[in-house]
Amino acid sequence: MKPDKGKFLRPLMGVGWYRRDQWQQLREAAADPTELEARWEDWQKEAAATFEGMVRAGTPVERVDVDVTDLILWCRATKRPLDKSGRARYISEKLKARHLQRAHRPSKDPDPLPEG
C-alpha cells in the first residue's frame, strides 16, 4: 500500500496549550504580557474556540502542550524573545519534532516481505 502523498503536503497548524498552573509564570516571563489574557480561563475559552473553529473549517490542527519552563529555556537557547513570534516558533518546532518522531516509529502491522 502506497502512502497518500497528499496528506503529507497539507500544512499542519499547532495551537499552543498552556496549563493553568503555569499561566502566571508565562505572563511574568513574556516580553509582551499585554498580548496575553490576564486570566488563564479567558485564554482557555478563546483558545478552545479558535481550535474548534479551525477543526470545523477543515484545517489540519493539533494541540501542542507547552511547558512554560521549557519554553523559557528554549527561547534563551535560541536567543529569541519570549513574545508571540517566539511562542509560535516554539510550538512549530515541537509539532515538527512530534511528527518526525511519528514518522520514524515502526508500524504496528508492517507489510509482509515479498516472497522470492
4 located within any domain: no
37 located within any domain: yes
3 located within any domain: no
pLDDT along the chain (116 residues), means of 10: 51 92 98 97 97 96 97 98 98 92 66 48
C-alpha cell at 107: 508500524
What is the reported pLDDT for 116? 44
The total number of structural domains in the chain stands at 1
1 located within any domain: no
22 located within any domain: yes
What is the reported pLDDT for 106? 65
109 located within any domain: no
What is the reported pLDDT for 19? 98
**87 CB-side CA count, 13 A:** 22
Range of the domain at 74: 14-103
Please, are residues 59 and 13 in contact by the beta-carbon 8 Å criterion? yes
113 located within any domain: no
Pairwise CA distance, residues 22 & 47, whole Å: 16
